[in-house]
Amino acid sequence: MKRIVFLTLVLISPIFMIGQKALIEKGDGYYNTYMFDLAKDYYEKSLGSITTQADKALVNYKLGYCYKMLGNSDKAEMYFGVAVKNYVKGVIKPDVLLFYADALKMNGKYEDAIDIYKQYLQVSPQDHRASSGLEACKLVPKWINRPTRYKVVNVSKFNTLQLDFSPVWASKDYRSLYFTSSREGSMGSRDNYKSGQKFTDIFEVTQDRKGNWSEPIPLAGGVNTEDDEGASTVSMKGAEMFFTRCKAGKKIDEPCKIFYTNKKGNAWGEAVQVSIIGFENYEVGYPALSKDDKILYFSAEAPAGYGGMDLYKAERIGNSGYEFGKPINLGDIVNTLGDEVFPTVRSNGTLYFSSDGHKGMGGLDIYKTIMDDKGTITGIENMKYPINSSFDDFGIIFDGDQEIGYLSSNRKGGKGSDDIYSFSLPPLVINLNGLVRDTTDIDNIKLIKDAKITILNDAGVAGELVSSATGGFTYKLEQDQNYKIKAEVSKDYFSNSITFSTFKIEYDTVINIVINLAKIPKIITLPNIEYEYDKAELRPESTVALDGLVKTMEDNPNLTIELRAHTDFRGRDEYNMELSLARAKSCVDYLIGKGVKADRLTAKGLGESEPKVIDKELNKAFPYFSISTVLDEAYITNLKDTKKKEEAHQINRRTEFSVLSTDYGSEDKEAAQKEVVNKPKQQGSAIIKETKNGEF
């Protein structure tokens, strides 16, 4: 009995092997002709009878690739993972690691993808796809945690369980839209074994005055056939259309081409194939017209490109409507080793496209080109999350200059495979919260009620308000503006302002500011005013305090001041008086050079005639000098500590200013309040003196 069983097993085993080999060969036949939906079925049937590691690696690799091309990232990840575990050198390519990492990234498993990308880069360190994918996996979690303000919503009215993608405006009023679909009712009802779906047609929807979209219907005329009609573009007047058509089947495998048709009445005429110079035998598709309809952008795969599908542009010539000059590759800023597809041109001329070769979230991501004044592409920008996802995102269109429109995506949570989504960008909210304080006594700060607040932007005075009982005020700011917020109380107080910009703010933001005001004292010491030794020339570090004084003069156009310079008692009295006057003039000259009117400034040299009296602030910095101490010659001479003597001399060598009047140019006050802010200025305080914690 055992002998019979043994003989039976011996006989059956070759039969299994023959069956397994036949299944794999059948799958290979479809795989090599890009019929991935058929190939995967035969490969999966063969898995149960595979016995060798090499066959297991190879079949799982091909299965992973089939599902990669069919857009099923979950199964692509699973089969590539098995292929990696059974890797046999020389049987499958090392790019199995790249494809495995890509599938992990597409499924949002960024940490796992990082590990696999690193393994692949050890084998192929120059592969930009892996280095870009690795860097993207580090960036994407940050994008997801801090998404852009765009809101993306599935448009259930447009979508079915089948493919629905590539929306395009069909009228200049943005109330008619075409898109591609494999839904029931399409003429191409045959199975497309490349995509695993039915063949696609182009459908139309229109919007009524209430914003409601009609039921999608197939385009009338000569556009739709039993073949695949794909991505399209319509001229600004709506009378011309270019679209992609692919002929495929079990016995047909022709490269996709771009076709042209024009409108005859309410229907499209018979389509004519567009001849693209140099691409007669290559895959060409994804047409997009420039805003003036003179340039055709498209995607093509050719040996002269950078790899995969590249983006090109060609200029219209002749009168036929579909003749074009020699195409120009858009270059390596746009094109990569991966695929660049689905170009679209916004009404402002900006080119958008999708790519799986740049830093992205996974699959195809949507990118925006950055152009200079001459229309040259200088960079690209990822549209980030939630416009992009870890799946395929492509075919974006905008409603004119508005930040609303539609895009295609096969992200999870949709109605079918590829779905159409709407997007919108809510208004950016930038709120200003302000507080006005009286810092005359830094140890007893008070809140100021009824302070006058003037808000100026690039256009002039944007608003006027007063502070509340608690010193507060609020205001809604605009995006991309330079702002100056000025607070004033009375002639007894310095006015003060703060400047800032709302440029480059991308998220809803609250800007908090505190404006400090203080009563005008008799004399204010300017900190850190230093001169060259025994000379009147200002040292560079002196400009900080003087720039603060410039700001004070700008905030208080009614003031005239006197610049007062002092020396220590060393040296002859006459010399010290001359030196101090020269130093005061240096400060005046600096202020005039910064735009302060000369008749608002007076220079005065006091030499050693007014030794400094220690006040509360100086006592904090030099506690060994008592409050009210006069640093005259007798006091300093009696100091035993050389260091303290030098510090006393330094305190005496000071520059101050005093307010002479508060009514300068009063007749021009109203005009001064209408000033226009041209650029953000340095923030500062109305009172220019050093205090604790940076307060004034």
* CATH number for the domain harbouring residue 324: 2.115.10.20
| Residue 3 is assigned to a structural domain of this protein | no
| Residue 216 is assigned to a structural domain of this protein | yes
Pairwise CA distance, residues 130 & 223, whole Å: 40
In this structure, the answer to whether residues 285 and 392 fall within a common structural domain is yes
519 near 696, Cβ under 8 Å? no
In this structure, the answer to whether residues 255 and 378 fall within a common structural domain is yes
**Can you give the CATH number for the domain in which 442 is found?**
2.60.40.1120
Pairwise CA distance, residues 303 & 1, whole Å: 64
**Given 145, 173, 198, which residue is the final one in a domain?**
145
Query: In the structure, what pLDDT confidence band is assigned to residue 4 with cuts at 50, 70 and 90?
Result: very low
Pairwise CA distance, residues 49 & 16, whole Å: 7
Please report the pLDDT score of residue 319 as a whole number: 83
Going from the C-alpha of 351 to that of each of 285, 381, 484, 520, the distances in angstroms are 16, 11, 36, 58
Query: Taking residues 472-487, what's their average pLDDT?
Result: 96
**Given 424, 458, 492, which residue is the final one in a domain?**
424
Q: Which of 192-206, 425-439, 679-693 has the highest mean pLDDT?
A: 425-439
- In this predicted structure, the answer to whether residue 402 has a pLDDT above a threshold of 70 is yes
Amino acid in position 639: L
Amino acid in position 406: Y
Q: Which of 345, 305, 346, 349 is nearest to 328 (CA)?
A: 305
**Given 468, 499, 517, which residue is the final one in a domain?**
517
Query: Taking residues 296-311, what's their average pLDDT?
Result: 92
Question: Does residue 86 sit in helix, strand or coil?
Answer: coil
Please report the pLDDT score of residue 261 as a whole number: 97
Residues facing residue 233 across a β-bridge = 242
Query: Taking residues 649-672, what's their average pLDDT?
Result: 80
In this structure, the answer to whether residues 193 and 129 fall within a common structural domain is no
In this structure, the answer to whether residues 410 and 434 fall within a common structural domain is no
Query: Taking residues 208-216, what's their average pLDDT?
Result: 92
Give tens-digit pLDDT for 307-362: 889 999 999 998 889 999 999 999 999 999 889 999 999 999 999 999 999 989 98
**Can you give the CATH number for the domain in which 563 is found?**
3.30.1330.60
What global pTM score does this model have? 0.74
- Pairwise pLDDT comparison (11 vs 282), residue with the higher score: 282
What's the mean per-residue pLDDT of the chain?
89
**Residues 6 or more apart whose Cβ sits within 8 Å of residue 144:** 385
**DSSP notation for 130-158:** HHHHHHHHHHHHHHHHS--S-EEEE-TTT
| Residue 8 is assigned to a structural domain of this protein | no
Query: Taking residues 412-425, what's their average pLDDT?
Result: 93
Query: In the structure, what pLDDT confidence band is assigned to residue 90 with cuts at 50, 70 and 90?
Result: confident
| Residue 163 is assigned to a structural domain of this protein | yes
Q: Which of 401, 292, 395 is nearest to 352 (CA)?
A: 395
Counting every residue, how long is the chain?
A: 696
Query: In the structure, what pLDDT confidence band is assigned to residue 198 with cuts at 50, 70 and 90?
Result: confident
Share of the chain above pLDDT 70, in %: 90
Query: In the structure, what pLDDT confidence band is assigned to residue 191 with cuts at 50, 70 and 90?
Result: low
In this structure, the answer to whether residues 174 and 287 fall within a common structural domain is yes
Pairwise CA distance, residues 315 & 258, whole Å: 15
Give tens-digit pLDDT for 543-561: 899 999 999 999 999 999 9
321 near 241, Cβ under 8 Å? no
**Structural domains counted in the chain:** 4
In this structure, the answer to whether residues 276 and 399 fall within a common structural domain is yes
Please report the pLDDT score of residue 394 as a whole number: 97
Does an H or E element contain 240, and which?
strand 240-246
In this structure, the answer to whether residues 686 and 653 fall within a common structural domain is yes
Residues facing residue 407 across a β-bridge = 421
Please report the pLDDT score of residue 477 as a whole number: 97
| Residue 603 is assigned to a structural domain of this protein | yes
Query: Taking residues 289-317, what's their average pLDDT?
Result: 94
**Residues 6 or more apart whose Cβ sits within 8 Å of residue 257:** 244, 245, 246, 273, 274, 284, 285
Q: Which tokens go with 130? A: 């892996």
List the alpha helices (DSSP H) in 316-388: none
Domain that holds residue 478: 430-517
338 near 355, Cβ under 8 Å? yes
Going from the C-alpha of 562 to that of each of 443, 532, 611, 656, 660, the distances in angstroms are 28, 22, 18, 8, 7
In this structure, the answer to whether residues 570 and 653 fall within a common structural domain is yes
| Residue 1 is assigned to a structural domain of this protein | no
Q: Which tokens go with 553? A: 């003069």
| Residue 370 is assigned to a structural domain of this protein | yes
Query: Taking residues 144-161, what's their average pLDDT?
Result: 94
Please report the pLDDT score of residue 580 as a whole number: 93
| Residue 534 is assigned to a structural domain of this protein | yes
In this structure, the answer to whether residues 246 and 333 fall within a common structural domain is yes
In this structure, the answer to whether residues 550 and 470 fall within a common structural domain is no
**Residues 6 or more apart whose Cβ sits within 8 Å of residue 434:** 453, 467, 472, 473, 474, 475, 485, 487, 512, 513, 514, 515
- Pairwise pLDDT comparison (691 vs 603), residue with the higher score: 603
- Pairwise pLDDT comparison (72 vs 689), residue with the higher score: 72
Query: Taking residues 664-672, what's their average pLDDT?
Result: 62
Query: Taking residues 507-516, what's their average pLDDT?
Result: 96
In this structure, the answer to whether residues 376 and 253 fall within a common structural domain is yes
Query: In the structure, what pLDDT confidence band is assigned to residue 603 with cuts at 50, 70 and 90?
Result: very high
In this structure, the answer to whether residues 510 and 451 fall within a common structural domain is yes
Please report the pLDDT score of residue 676 as a whole number: 45
**Can you give the CATH number for the domain in which 42 is found?**
1.25.40.10
Q: Quote the DSSP letter at residue 493.
A: B
- Pairwise pLDDT comparison (673 vs 454), residue with the higher score: 454
Query: What are the two backbone dihedrals, phi and then psi, of residue 659, each rounded to the nearest 5 degrees?
Result: -85, 125
